Amino acid sequence: MSHLHIKSEIRILGIDDSALIDQKITIIGAFFRGGLWLDGVLSSKITRDGMDATHVIISMIKSSKHYGQIRALILDGITYAGFNPVDIVAIYQETKLPVIVYMRKYPDFKKIKLALNHFSDGNERYKIIEKAGIVSPICVNESSPEIFIQRTGISLNDAKDIIQLTSTRGNVPEPLRVAHLIATGIVCGESRGKS
């Protein structure tokens, strides 16, 4: 785990998914300088309740012209497109980029495990979720409620610094907030939620 030199314009990629409308769900990557400048947008598609999110995210990152500049990833939760789990350890190993998973609430692992019973490969999916490791509470600032993160390839302090640096308009890091707005705007015709 390397220590990151966190400058105000550190390049961060935030990834979020769109509404669950079709079988193929759009995911959007918003490439930011710090929490202030949007420098690029990536998009791809993953399968609703599938097992392809990890592979698609790795491919999306590695094929991007921004790949060499990205210093960290912020993901909105550990599952995308319903229950398509993201293996953050595999992403880190393949891309050499630290991964931070952002969550507004502490995950209800019992509820998740119960929901995964409906899948024939539910145990495999749960193992991917477990791989993300310890859930740590952090505060974006003194007045904001606790949020929760998981991480790989980055120290808790560096992850906290990145979340605080990029959360310039509230409690959600700008790269995630903008990725969400773009994703829902494309799929639903208008941006909604989380902004």
| Residue 142 CB partners (closer than 8 Å, separation 6+) | none
CA dihedral 148, 151, 157, 162 (to 10 degrees): -80
Length of the chain as a residue count: 195
Q: What is the mean pLDDT of residues 84-105?
A: 97
The SS3 assignment for 19 reads coil
194: pLDDT strictly greater than 60: no
Q: Could you tell me the two tokens for 49? A: 């309740």
- Indicate the pLDDT class of residue 195, thresholds 50, 70 and 90: very low
Q: Which helix (DSSP H) or strand (DSSP E) does residue 111 occupy? A: helix 109-116
Q: Taking 80 as the threshold, does the pLDDT of residue 177 lie above it?
A: yes
Bridge partners for 47 per DSSP: 24
Q: Which of 4-8, 35-39, 123-127 has the lowest mean pLDDT?
A: 4-8
Domains of the chain: 11-185 (3.30.2170.10)
Q: Are 25 and 61 in contact (CB under 8 A)?
A: no
Beta carbons of 141 and 158 less than 8 angstroms apart = no
Which tens digits make up the pLDDT trace of 128-155?
A: 999 999 999 999 887 778 999 999 999 9
Indicate the pLDDT class of residue 84, thresholds 50, 70 and 90: very high
Q: What is the DSSP letter of 62?
A: H
Pull the structure tokens for residue 160.
């906290």
Q: What is the 3-state secondary structure (H, E, C) of 122-168?
A: HHHHHHHHHHCCCCEEEECCCCCCEEEEEEECCCHHHHHHHHHHHCC
Q: What is the mean pLDDT of residues 19-35?
A: 88
- Amino acid of residue 36: L
DSSP state of 53: H
